[in-house]
């Protein structure tokens, strides 16, 4: 991973944002802009990557205290990050987004498309077809993410959701479901039925598109 000082001026996060707009930045680049600077140990991009990993794992439930576990992030910087996220969350909430088709959740998960490892995600949905929560269930290797039904459904049940959509990114780019993808889809579908949950879809996605099991009549 290149350091800020090794990047051309136009590719540095702040300059890139000003020239191309915020949507063109990756998650670590966006967080690097918020942080402003790194530490003696880590440059700002390296520090941002560490924080993004924590935020991915915690989802919307992350706190300022979670941030302070990273060396170089004190109470002031952690509070600033938490405040920035809360400010946006209050205005553009994933909770309450009403979906008509499973693929409607793509805007909430598309930022995981550039991850180097597979991220297996679970979107919990209430009885009114509104998104309640988006969480990372597991982070795997370059081409596989190990996931078990109990990890997927534990919090879904506790928050009294009525339906779920699962998704994962394919870092290699190919959207064709692997045998493992098909197997876990069937396992989750069967488990959801036992638990009284509607299993709406399993979506595989990358930067260019997506594959929906439901749209291919495989759910």
pLDDT score, position 142: 45
CA–CA dist 52, 192 (Å, integer): 30
Identify whether the C-beta of residue 105 lies closer than 8 Å to the C-beta of residue 111. no
CA–CA dist 24, 10 (Å, integer): 12
Identify whether the C-beta of residue 105 lies closer than 8 Å to the C-beta of residue 91. no
CA–CA dist 70, 201 (Å, integer): 36
Partners of residue 203 on adjacent β-strands: 167, 212
With DSSP H G I counted as helix, E B as strand and the rest as coil, what are the percentages for the chain, rounded to 5? 45, 15, 35
Identify whether the C-beta of residue 169 lies closer than 8 Å to the C-beta of residue 203. no
Its CATH architecture, for the domain 102-212, is 3-Layer(aba) Sandwich (3.40)
Identify whether the C-beta of residue 140 lies closer than 8 Å to the C-beta of residue 176. no
Kindly state the tokens that stand for 156: 């879904």
- Higher pLDDT among residues 141 and 160, named by residue: 160
The model's pLDDT over 175-212, given as tens digits with 9 standing for 90+, comes to: 999 899 999 999 999 999 999 999 999 999 998 899 99
The model's pLDDT over 7-39, given as tens digits with 9 standing for 90+, comes to: 888 889 999 999 999 888 888 899 999 998 888
Residue with tokens 């959701």: 161
CA–CA dist 91, 101 (Å, integer): 23
Q: Could you state, in order of their start, the residue ranges of all structural domains in the chain?
A: 4-89, 102-212
80-103 CB burial, b ≥16 within 10 A, e <16 = bbbeebeeeeeeeebeebebeebb
The model's pLDDT over 131-152, given as tens digits with 9 standing for 90+, comes to: 988 888 888 754 555 788 888 9
């Amino acid at each position: 991973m290149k350091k800020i000082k090794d990047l051309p001026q136009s590719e540095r996060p702040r300059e890139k944002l000003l020239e191309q707009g915020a949507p063109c930045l990756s998650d670590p680049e966006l967080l690097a802009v918020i942080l402003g600077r790194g530490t003696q140990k880590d440059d700002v991009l390296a520090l941002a990557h560490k924080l993004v990993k924590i935020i991915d794992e915690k989802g919307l439930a992350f706190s300022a205290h979670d941030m302070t576990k990273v060396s170089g992030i004190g109470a002031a910087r952690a509070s600033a990050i938490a405040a920035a996220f809360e400010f946006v969350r209050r205005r553009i909430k994933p909770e309450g987004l009403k979906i008509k088709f499973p693929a409607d959740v793509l805007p909430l998960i598309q930022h995981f498309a550039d991850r180097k490892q597979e991220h297996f995600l679970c979107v919990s949905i209430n009885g009114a077809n509104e998104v309640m929560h988006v969480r990372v269930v597991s982070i795997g290797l370059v081409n596989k993410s190990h996931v078990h039904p109990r990890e997927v459904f534990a919090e879904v049940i506790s928050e009294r959701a009525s339906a779920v959509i699962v998704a994962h990114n394919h870092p290699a780019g190919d959207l064709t479901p692997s045998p493992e993808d098909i197997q876990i889809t069937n396992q989750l579908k069967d488990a959801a039925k036992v638990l009284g949950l509607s299993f709406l879809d399993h979506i595989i996605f990358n930067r260019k598109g997506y594959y929906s099991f439901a749209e291919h009549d495989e759910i």
